[in-house]
Structure 1
Amino acid sequence: MNPEGKKLLNIVVLGFAFMFMFTAFQTCGNIEQTVLISFNSTTFHGTGYTSMAIIYGVFSASNLIAPSVITVIGPQLSMFISGLLYSAYIAMFIYPFTWSFYTASVLVGIGAAVLWTAQGNVLATNSSETTIGRNSGIFWALLQFSLFFGNLYIYCAWRGHDHITDKDHVTESLLQAESNDSSASYSSAQSGLCSQALDAFVKSCKLFITKEMLLLSTCIAYTVDFYSGVYGTSIGAMTRFGKDAKSLIGLSGICIGAGEILGGGVFGMLNKYIRFGRNPVVLLGLVTHFLAFFLIFLNIAQDAPVAPEAGTDLQAFITPSVGVALFCSFLLGLGDSCFNTQLLSIIGFMFKDNSAPAFAVFKFIQSITAAIAFFYSNYFLLHWQLLILVLFGFSGTITFFGAEWIAEKNRRNSDYDSI
């Protein structure tokens, strides 16, 4: 097999590995608020929103040391150990205690920082300027297949349930999928590991304040997981959707996955045929999300994200429609794939020589804003959350255009210098 074929195979293996790992975790994030508010116990008082806020808060802080960890032990072992931490978090749902649940949230936050920084390093080292867009799309599409399997189970298991039983807590924990690592090679020298680790940390700090990363930061901050942790919970809380409202959380996850896979596949495989660079794809993502937000505003009750276990009987501005709710799920997934594939592509291109520190900064920004978002999701009504997303989405798109202009300028200068 030629070198280019081996690199493509590495990306495919990486995508399948993450698909297996996140079959459990993404499904968990989609349903845990709904599950936990129904858990009646004198020993447990946690919430899914708080857990996700802890995860992403620790995730953001841990990104500062993630490049150093990868320098010392390599990306493959880093991803394997991180996968074990993800499995431990899911296992907490067998019988959760508040202290163990939040401790596991801290550990998975650390693991997530190392996992995603290693993923970015492997993606960049197995891509070139011409293949980074394709490889980002392929990886993203394979990863999002994880939304199908777990959410299909949730839809079937919860269909007809108007409340969550103890059995559902246990079966959620059994959704664990095997963790895996990629077969991509890592070529860092094994001598002077402490010096290399310190150098990786310093590079991360320096990259954080570069003009390019500052421009991308608003767009990165926008890509929080509203569609999984908050929107799924809101659908499940709508009693006007009938007794199958809880099972619709799983069906919503499947629709989100369909949008993610479609976007990742199309923008990955057709990347080289898209004119005017990455900007049209990001603009499509913004328009798609704005349409979804408008329909959600009309269709979902404002108190749905913070409704009690019994749900909400309030109505928004139209008669609640399951079809509209699931169509919005698809739009959220499609728009999310537009933003994330292009962010992976532009960061892999602009910071190819410092991929691990660059992706650590990317995940630092993304995770700290996600932590803030999940924290205020405990208190903010739906219309306020949608307003915040609209403001960040618009400003993030504008700043992405600026970063893409710089990337295109650098590419042209590089082509000119090589003549």
Structure 2
Amino acid sequence: MNQQSYGFLCAFLLGMGQLCVMTGFDTESFILETVIHSIHEREPERISSYAGYYGQAVIYVFYMLACLISPSIITVSTPKTSLVFGAIFFTAFPLGFLFTNSYYYYFSSALLGVGLACMLHHLKIISKFLFPVYYQGQGGYLTSHSTRNTIESNVSLSWSLGCFCMILGSAIIAGITKYNADGTQLILDVLNTTSESHNTERQFSNIEISLIFTAFTGISFTGIIIFFLLPSRDVEDCIESSTGKKETFMEAFKLTCSTVVNPKMVQLIPLFVLCGFNTSLWISVFPTSLNFTTHNSHMIYLPALYSFAIGSGEIIMGILISFLSKRIKNFGQKPTMTIGAVCVLIYCALIHLSTAMDAPIRPTSDEPILFHHSYLLVLIIGFIGGAGDCCINSVRSVICALAMPKRRSQAFSVSKAFQALASCILFFLSPIVPLYIYTIGLPVLSLIATILFFSIAKRTQKMERKMTEGTRNAAEVGKTLNL
């Protein structure tokens, strides 16, 4: 097998592993606050009403903290090891919903945050102690199995494959929803009663919750096996080898701290914050708004459809970026960032016009500004939101790999730390922040982030040209001397 095919295989397997472990995390995030709210309505003493938001805030708190030390972790670990442990932590989270308990819920949330950071550091070129562990492993694995010519396409391939998790998750939710709906209707027919569900928000029954999270736990366990079986050998001329680490734990930590105040990183902060705010909106705030809108109570398949739409947008855009990056030089930078900013503007406008202002906070029957939700509208919003998220995460990953070639691990970790901080703040405030703050603020932030990103991308491309010219000149001098 040649080096390019081997790198492609590694990226493919990495994406498949991500598909398994992220199926539960991404899809359950769409319904987490609604599921928690449903449990609280039946058993108020078991868990608080807004634990869905607060639990995700805890995830990102520990994610942020772990991101700051995750580059140091690679001095005593390997990408493959981080991926395996991160996957184990991912599996622990959905397992807790089989016996919902506040203490285990917040503990597993903290564990999930740590694991994701470490996996992303070794996966640091792509893109989400549990969150940090996963992405540290993912980034490092991609850099050691990609060259400069294949990094943009490998990133998009692995990302789009991983995002297929939302389509798989949508199928799981749709199947279980149909099973539960058929059973509920049978009981109503036997009792000769009618459902009043149209007058209330979307609710999840105990059996529905158990079935959904059992499926998520099983799929996450499959991800553990895939990561355990990943090939370990680096490709030739890889961007960064997985062996030969020179820094000690403390040296790597100091390097991360100095990277935080690096001028390039400071200029990219709006992009990192945009990643955090945008992810929080599409992964939790908006889907919760859909479920809390009483006008949508008869559309029981909205969570499944929304998950399918987001996943489709992520996958199709990832494939498009991968395809065009091979044919258009630097397509994964300025053009992709522009597409991402436009997508954010469009889907925020559609959410603003179709969703009541207090929908993320409480069940509501208030009228939207212009039109109500429908299956078609949610499909469009989800698709555009997924496409935009793929673009923004892709450019963030690429710029971190190229703008600071001597600090790739630290740059990626710092970017995730700022993203996590933004998400953490947003989730803690979600129980009191009106929806329109998101739908107006995000487009403004995306414009600022795009302008600053263009400046960094331009300087990075100039730096690469100088390095290429220097290498070419050195080669010519060496050839002349040999003659």
The TM-score normalised by the length of structure 1 is 0.93
The equivalent residue for 1:350 is 403
Q: Which residue of 2 aligns with 1:149?
A: 168
CA contact (8 A) 1:216 1:400 kept: yes
Alpha-carbon displacement from aligned partner over 1:373-413 (angstroms, at most 9, x marks no partner):
11121211110122221222111111111110111111111
Aligned: 1:158 with 2:192: no
The alpha carbon displacement at 1:300 in A equals 1.1
For 2:390, the aligned partner's letter is: S
Moved more, 195-204 or 52-61: 195-204
Residue number in structure 1 paired with 2:106: 102
Cα distance in structure 1, aligned partners of 2:150 and 2:243 = 22
The alignment yields a C-alpha RMSD, in angstroms, of: 1.8
Structure 2 residue aligned with 1:137: 156
Amino acid at match of 2:209: H
Query: Match of 2:303?
Result: 249
Task: Summarize deviations over 1:142-193 as a string: whole Å, max 9, x none.
Answer: 1100001112221333355742111122123212222332434464348x8x
Q: CA deviation at 1:242?
A: 4.1
The equivalent of 2:47 in structure 1 is: 44
1:210 aligns with 262
Give CA-to-partner distance per residue, 1:339-363, whole Å, 9 cap, x none. 1112212222233443322221121
Deviates most, 127-136 or 269-278: 269-278
The aligned amino acid for 2:465 is R
SS of the residue 1:296 aligns to? helix
CA distance in 2: counterparts of 1:333 and 1:274, whole angstroms: 23
Q: Counterparts of 2:6 and 2:231 in 1: how far apart (Å)?
A: 10
- Residue 393 of structure 1: aligned partner: 446
Q: Cα distance, 1:276 vs. partner?
A: 6.1
1:56–1:368 contact (8 Å) kept in structure 2:
yes
Is 1:238 aligned to residue 293 of structure 2?
yes
Q: Within 1, Cα distance between the matches of 2:405 and 2:156?
A: 17
Q: In structure 1, how many angstroms separate the alpha carbons of the residues matched to 2:21 and 2:404?
A: 27
More displaced 10-residue stretch of structure 1: 199-208 or 27-36: 199-208
**8 A Cα contact 1:124 1:352, kept in partner:** no
Aligned to 2:69: 65
**Structure 2 residue 226 is the aligned partner of structure 1 residue 173:** no
Equivalent position of 2:358 in the other structure: 303
Residue in 1 that maps onto 2:475: none
Deviation, structure 1 residue 365: 1.3
- Equivalent in the alignment of 1:82: 86
Does residue 264 (structure 1) correspond to residue 267 (structure 2)? The answer is no
Deviation sequence 1:26-82 (CA, Å, 0-9, x none)? 111111101000103223225111001110011001111112222202111111111
State whether residues 303 and 382 of structure 1, in contact with CA within 8 Å, keep that contact through their aligned partners in structure 2.
yes
Partners of 2:27 and 2:288 in 1: how far apart?
A: 12
The 3 A distance-change label for structure 1 pair 212 and 413 is: same
Cα distance, 1:326 vs structure 2:
2.1
The 1-side partners of 2:330 and 2:6 are apart by 29
Which of these residues, 321, 345, 364, is aligned with residue 417 of structure 2? Answer: 364
Higher alpha-carbon deviation: 402-411 or 348-357: 348-357
Q: 1:216 to 1:124 in 2, by over 3 A?
A: farther
Structure 2: tracts of 5 or more residues without a match: 124-138, 182-196, 234-240, 473-483
How far the C-alpha of 1:321 sits from its partner, in A, is 3.2
1:51–1:208 Cα change, 3 Å: same
- Aligned residues with identical type, % of pairs: 25
CA distance in 1, matches of 2:175, 2:367: 26
One of 365, 380, 394 as aligned partner of 1:313: 365
Q: Structure 1 residues 351, 183: closer, same or farther in 2, change over 3 A?
A: farther
Separation (CA, whole Å) in 2 of partners of 1:348 and 1:9: 21
- Describe the SS at the equivalent of 2:367: coil
Alpha-carbon distance between aligned partners in 2 of 1:362 and 1:280, rounded to the nearest angstrom: 20
1:146 counterpart letter in structure 2 = C
Alignment of 1:101-120 (within 5 A): 101-119=105-123, 120=139
Task: Evaluate the alpha carbon distance shift between residue 386 and residue 347 of structure 1 in structure 2; reply closer, same or farther with a 3 A threshold.
Answer: same
User: Does the 8 Å contact 2:289/2:355 carry over to 1?
Assistant: yes
CA–CA distance in structure 1, aligned partners of residues 404 and 8 of structure 2:
20
Higher alpha-carbon deviation: 197-206 or 108-117:
197-206
Preserved CA contact (<8 Å) 1:33 1:229: yes
| Contact residue 123 and residue 348 of structure 1 kept, 8 A | no
Structure 1 stretch displaced more, 208-217 or 72-81: 208-217
| Higher Cα radius of gyration | 2
Aligned to 1:274, the other structure's residue is in SS state coil
Question: For structure 1, which segment, 78-87 or 166-175, has the greater mean C-alpha deviation from structure 2 after superposition?
Answer: 166-175
Distance 2:378 2:3 in 1: 45
Counterpart CA distance in 2 for 1:287 and 1:50 is 30
Aligned equivalents of 2:451, 2:387: Cα separation in 1: 19
Determine if contact 1:132/1:348 at 8 Å carries over to the other structure: no
Compared CA separation, residues 109 and 203, structure 1 to 2 (3 A): same
Q: Which moved more, 1:71-80 or 1:169-178?
A: 169-178
Shift of 1:131: 1.6
* CA distance in 2: counterparts of 1:146 and 1:267, whole angstroms: 19
Q: What TM-score do you get using the length of structure 2 for normalisation?
A: 0.81
Q: C-alpha distance in 2, partners of 1:103/1:118? A: 24
Kindly tell me: are residues 351 and 276 of structure 1, through their superposed partners in 2, closer, same or farther at Cα, counting changes over 3 Å?
closer
- Please report how far the alpha carbon of residue 236 of structure 1 lies from its aligned counterpart in structure 2 after TM superposition: 1.6
What is the aligned partner in structure 1 of residue 12 from structure 2?
12
Structure 1 pair 5–352 and aligned structure 2 pair: CA distance change class (3 A): farther
C-alpha spacing 1:28/1:320, structure 2 compared with 1 (3 Å): same
Deviation string, structure 1 residues 295-332 (Cα, Å, up to 9, x no partner) = 1111111111112xxx3211112230312222111110
